[in-house]
Chain A
């Protein structure tokens, strides 16, 4: 091993000695040895130059030929056949894409749904079948540019050969080497200048081989790019495939643009090479580098390397291999140009802002057609995700889903509210919207909620809405709260009681005949309806007609619904009901004095409770007290008469009577019966 290194070291020393030994020292060496060694090394250098020269000549001819065939090579039959196979394959996948879109739309997976994919799908359907023609059109365009430079350059090999002035680089005993054609012939060259000649020529070979290699590999690469065009465009339909398509497009544009860009640098180099005399002579005339090679010649070699290798690198960088490839420049150009041209006008006209707002709305709420949702938006996705998570048992997700629905509907409700306030939306339109679908549709729900707010809720809408929202406790409660804020609109008291009870309540006329039936039994057995029922109960406490109709089980149910007799809401409820229904308070307390202790903590008698209630009551409350359980009882009539008698003057008594009669005229149940009792006050 050590001998091997030693041999190499000695060889290097001898080589360097010959290379840098002063010429003067040659005189001190024997003439014979000098002659032998000079002949040997000069022969070696000449042989190497001979080989390199042949290679360079071959590569230059090859390069010349490749440049000429690089134009129009893509019309090869293999490309047509390969592209045809890929196209058919891609067309098959359109069915798959449609199925994917269908399922994604059903399950509201926004990335893959109809709304997101249909645009790319349609574009791809067209592009796939025209991909070869369009790609060729682009390549023809680049070819046209290339042709300009090729025509200008003519024979690149000849130009380079002329420009490099090889005879000046390789001074031989035999004289002048004439052009590249004679470069390969055996000739004796001097030592130092010969070594420089090898360096220059070797560099040229490397440059030309690299250039030829790139020009050569470009051909099969572009073939592959053309063949895979349908597949790349197909992949662009799918969200994950856009990158692949972009990559394909980069390659097509890059490899297409490579040749004209590279030829531009070659042309520029050739041009500079042909004019080197004018430029270099002026600044470095007569200057030589070691070995007697004129600086001008050395510079011309450097220039060729620079343009051949540098141009290659710049062309590749410019077209493909950097982040700012041609595809990006070309791809973004129309957008930038269009944007620049149109931005000002659109922005000034407000179109930009409106369009952005519309896009944002579509994104959030989805796309509607004829009042029906065509595509879901982010809000739908959010709901769907929460729903699915809930189904998968993720804690709290069910409520999250419900809240997402309420939030989504809230935005639509806000819009409707504004439009209604401004007079841009009529009740009839709202009713049409409310009837256009299911309450699980946020827009439909928002319309119904709006009807509830403006007091246009009827039994049909109320019943349908609670039924359709059976799985959404928050939405039911939200709807009930809105209805409550408008005192439940046009709903009959019996209807409200049916909601509160989650049961069936009949409306009867004065003869006791059923005139209407309200059935909300679905809410009674549904835990999701408790919030809504509570809202109805809270509204009922202020509904004198409703409270007057309470019976014991109903009252007990409401207290239970509000959390038992001791909760704040229950106590408020009991207090209000007690003003109108002392009988009910007493009877409930009496039914379980321990459980309902808070209802009568002073242990008052029934008579006292009724008397106190009558004394406290204003005319409206008095007349609304129920006939059968209060007005028709001796306790009540005594209390009423005592109240009447406490009026000091005839005028006060007349006012008291007249006040009660007036209240009875407002549609109070059993008004005639109660009138007879008022008539009996003396």
Chain B
């Protein structure tokens, strides 16, 4: 998710993954059209979770209070779920995605991902598995490269003190 698009996230109450994903695209008509087209091709079970407002309610009203997530974290979590549903992010990396995207430790990320997989995604799990198998067939055999919102350059040992990693809030 491009950094500039994150600013478009709803701050008060999360949107369903579909609306949230469109929302972060702002005025980019072409990107919106592409996203709409792509999502319209998804299996109905996946589309339901992607579009349904109950997904937003689940994250907002259940996961958020349960794990003490901030508005921004909830918004990011919605986007991660949307990304998994759209098969843009491999479901096997959900823990890493949550951990990195929300800036949470591995344990909490694991709990959140377990809750999502066991409570939110089951109706579409078979379709998700099939889609991910088709798309990430090689990835399944070896761990997928970690895909986070963090700056890849932050891990490099180059002028580390002179570079301010804006994504690292702990700095």
- Chain A positions within 8 Å of B, measured between CB atoms, are 510, 649-651, 653-655, 657-658, 661-662, 664-665, 671-673, 675-676, 679-680
In the assembled complex, which residues on chain B have CB atoms less than 8 Å from the CB atom of A673? 29
Stretch among B13-21, B89-97, B135-143, B162-170 lining the A interface: B13-21
Describe B's contact surface by its main secondary structure.
Answer: helix
A657 with B19: in contact, given A649-B13, A651-B13, A675-B32 (CB under 8 Å)?
yes
**Shortest beta-carbon distance from A539 to chain B in Å:** 27
**How far is the CB of B18 from the nearest CB of chain A, in Å?**
7
Q: Is residue B118 within 8 Å, beta carbon to beta carbon, of the partner chain?
A: no
How far, in angstroms, from A649 to B61 measured CA to CA in the complex?
Answer: 14
Q: Are B12 and A654 in contact (CB-based, < 8 A)?
A: yes
Among the interface residues A655, A658, A676, which one has the most CB atoms of the partner chain B within 10 A?
A658
A346 CB to closest chain B CB (Å) equals: 59
Partner of A661, one of B12, B22, B27, B33: B22
Decide: B19 and A662 in contact? CB cutoff 8 A. yes
* Interface residue from A657, A665, A672 paired with B15 (Cβ < 8 Å): A657
**In the complex where A654-B10, A654-B56, A662-B51 touch, is A679 in contact with B26 (Cβ < 8 A)?**
yes
Q: Are A679 and B53 in contact (CB under 8 A)?
A: no
Contact present for A676 and B12 (CB under 8 Å): no
Contact B18 A679 (CB under 8 A): no
Residues 25-83 of B at the A interface (beta carbon under 8 Å): 25-30, 32-33, 36, 39-40, 51, 53, 56, 60
A679 in contact with B22 (CB, 8 Å): yes
A679-B13 in contact (CB<8A): no
Nearest chain B CB to A510 CB, angstrom units:
7
**Closest A residue, CB atoms, query B57:** A651
Beyond known contacts A672-B29, A675-B29: 6 more, CB 8 A cutoff: A653-B13, A657-B19, A658-B15, A658-B19, A673-B29, A679-B8
Instruction: Please provide the chain B residues from 112 to 166 with a CB less than 8 Å away from any CB of chain A in the complex.
Output: none
Question: Are B12 and A650 in touch, CB under 8 angstroms?
Answer: yes
Nearest 7 pairs of A and B residues by beta carbon: A650-B12, A650-B13, A654-B13, A672-B32, A661-B19, A672-B33, A672-B29
User: Are A665 and B40 CB-contacts (below 8 A) given A651-B13, A672-B33?
Assistant: yes
**Contact B26 A665, beta carbon cutoff 8 Å:** no
A595 CB to closest chain B CB, in angstroms? Answer: 40
Q: How far is the CB of A311 from chain B (nearest CB, A)?
A: 99
Q: Which residues of B sit under 8 angstroms from A671, Cβ to Cβ?
A: 32-33, 36
- Docked pose: A665 CA to B23 CA in angstroms: 14
Partner of A658, one of B27, B33, B56: B56
Specify which chain B residues have a CB less than 8 angstroms from the CB of A661 in the assembled complex. Answer: 15, 18-19, 22
Which A residues are CB-close (under 8 A) to B18? 661-662, 665
B26 contacts which of A649, A650, A662, A676 (Cβ < 8 Å)? A676
Q: B15 touching A676 by the CB < 8 A rule?
A: no
- On chain A, the residues within 8 Å of B29 by CB distance are 672-673, 675-676
Whether A665 touches B33, Cβ cut-off 8 Å, given contacts A650-B13, A657-B15, A658-B19, is no
Report yes or no: B13 in contact with A665, Cβ–Cβ below 8 A.
no
Determine how close the nearest CB of chain A comes to the CB of B146; give it in whole angstroms: 29
CB neighbours (8 Å) of A665 from chain B are: 18, 36, 39-40, 51
Question: Of B8, B19, B36, B39, which is in contact with the most chain A CB atoms at under 10 Å from its CB?
Answer: B19
Say how far A640's CB is from chain B's closest CB, in angstroms.
Answer: 15
Which chain B residues lie closer than 8 Å to A653 at the CB level? 12-13
Q: What is the CA–CA distance of A671 and B14 in the complex, to the nearest angstrom?
A: 21
In angstroms, Cα B15 to Cα A672, docked, is 17
Name the residue of chain B whose CB is nearest to the CB of A661.
Answer: B19
- For A654, the chain B residues whose CB sits under 8 A away are 10, 12-15, 53, 56
Q: Return the chain B residue nearest A649 by Cβ.
A: B13
